[in-house]
Each structure stands twice: as structure tokens, then as C-alpha cells.
């Protein structure tokens, strides 16, 4: 499933990707992001056939200079939904990391 439009060929953030998924699934802009925020507290959030599961936190290190590193903390979510293509229904799963 392609998500890059002609105007955004360079880099797309996780939040931008969720907005693209919102458009493909027919939700208002920011709906999946809001489900992810709610899922942090409840662990699983379901709305209209979409299930968002909070999988925990991952820590990454990003190099700032030769000897300095910045630790990034990101929340990991699993988003499960169904799509209809060519008259058939397919189940899809997407894993997203967000800085909350």
C-alpha cells in the first residue's frame, strides 16, 4: 500500500502516515492519532472496525555529534483494519512508532 504522494516524496513522519491512512479509511484527519493516544492508557482501543493496540515503548539513540547521543523514546502501536480491494475483503496490519 503506497502512501507517498507527489508533493511529499522526501520524508514522511509517522503522524503524516496516520493522516494518509485516515484518508484511505474515510476517517477525519487525526482520528487514528487520537486512537493511538487513547490506547496508551487502555492498551487496546477499537472504533468502527479498526483496532489499535499499544505495544509498549522502545528506546533509540540518535547521534548528535561525534561523542554525544540523544535518547529517543517512542511508543509502538499495532493498527489492524480491513480494506476492500477488487470486491474482496483483506485484513491489514500496520505497526507505527510515535513520539508522544
For residue range 43-76, list pLDDT tens digits in order.
998 888 889 999 999 988 888 888 888 888 889 9
The pTM of this model reads: 0.73
> Has residue 2 got a pLDDT over 70?
no
Determine the pLDDT at residue 3: 53
pLDDT of residue 10: 64
CA atoms within 13 A on the CB side of 66: 0
Q: What is the pLDDT of residue 89?
A: 86
C-alpha dihedral sign at 7, 13, 14, 15: negative
Q: What is the mean pLDDT of the chain?
A: 83
7: confidence class by pLDDT, cuts 50, 70, 90: low
Amino acid at each position: 500500500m503506497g502512501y507517498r504522494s507527489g508533493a511529499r516524496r522526501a520524508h514522511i513522519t509517522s503522524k503524516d502516515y496516520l493522516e494518509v491512512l485516515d484518508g484511505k479509511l474515510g476517517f477525519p484527519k487525526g482520528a487514528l492519532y487520537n486512537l493511538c493516544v487513547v490506547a496508551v492508557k487502555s492498551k487496546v482501543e477499537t472504533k468502527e472496525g479498526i483496532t489499535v493496540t499499544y505495544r509498549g515503548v522502545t528506546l533509540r539513540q540518535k547521534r548528535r555529534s561525534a561523542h554525544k547521543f540523544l535518547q529517543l523514546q517512542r511508543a509502538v502501536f499495532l493498527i489492524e483494519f480491513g480494506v476492500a480491494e477488487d470486491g474482496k475483503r483483506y485484513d491489514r496490519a500496520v505497526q507505527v512508532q510515535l513520539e508522544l
